[in-house]
Amino acid sequence: MTEKEKMLKGEYYDPQDPTLVHLRDNADNLMNQYNHPGGGDKGQLLDMLFGYHVEGLSIRAPFFCDYGINIRVGRNFYANHNCVFLDVAKITIGDDVLLGPNVSLITVNHPIDPEKRRQKLEYGKPITIGDNVWIGADVTVNPGVTIGENAVIGSGSVVVKDVPANTVAAGNPCRVIRAIEE
């Protein structure tokens, strides 16, 4: 199994594998152009970074990710300035999702075992965000988290566990505050 295959399966992998380094370098090149004023057609650069076209996609620069190719966003996605998507595992985002500035979606993790850490191994767990979610400023979503549709995550939250659909959640650690009533 290749290191990329291990990475996408959530197994320990070597991030210094030449194929993975090449993919990250390609993403860095595209993000440098995207984040540079006058760096080219922003929509085309995002299409190249993600590997597909998204209707209504708006991401304010600067924007940072590891690979780009492991990110799937739905229609009418908006991310404010300075968002970071560490996409060693899949990041799946539904339609009509809004992210405030400085939101971090972190799929990568490092071993607790110090010997494995010294080997520079990593692993990832996917993040899934449902339709019509609003995530406030300065939120960090940790590996393996699912946020249900229509949820609202308050600014400054650290999301370490799943958040149910139709709820407002906030805090560190993030927890449900109340249901969203129609």
Nearest-angstrom CA–CA distance, 88 and 153:
23
* The token pair that represents 45 in the structure block: 């650069």
Catalytic (active site) residue 53: no
Q: Identify the helix (H) or strand (E) that includes residue 166.
A: none
Both tokens assigned to 127: 């993040």
Residue 91 CB coordination number (10 Å):
24
Closest of 99, 107, 166 to residue 139, by C-alpha: 99
Question: Which amino acid belongs to residue 172?
Answer: N
The one-letter amino acid code at 105 reads L
Contacts of 85 (CB under 8 A, 6+ apart): 63, 64, 65, 66, 71, 91, 104, 105
Q: Quick one: tokens of 115?
A: 């010997």
Selecting among 22, 36, 53, 110, the annotated active-site residue is 110
Catalytic residues, by residue number, are 110
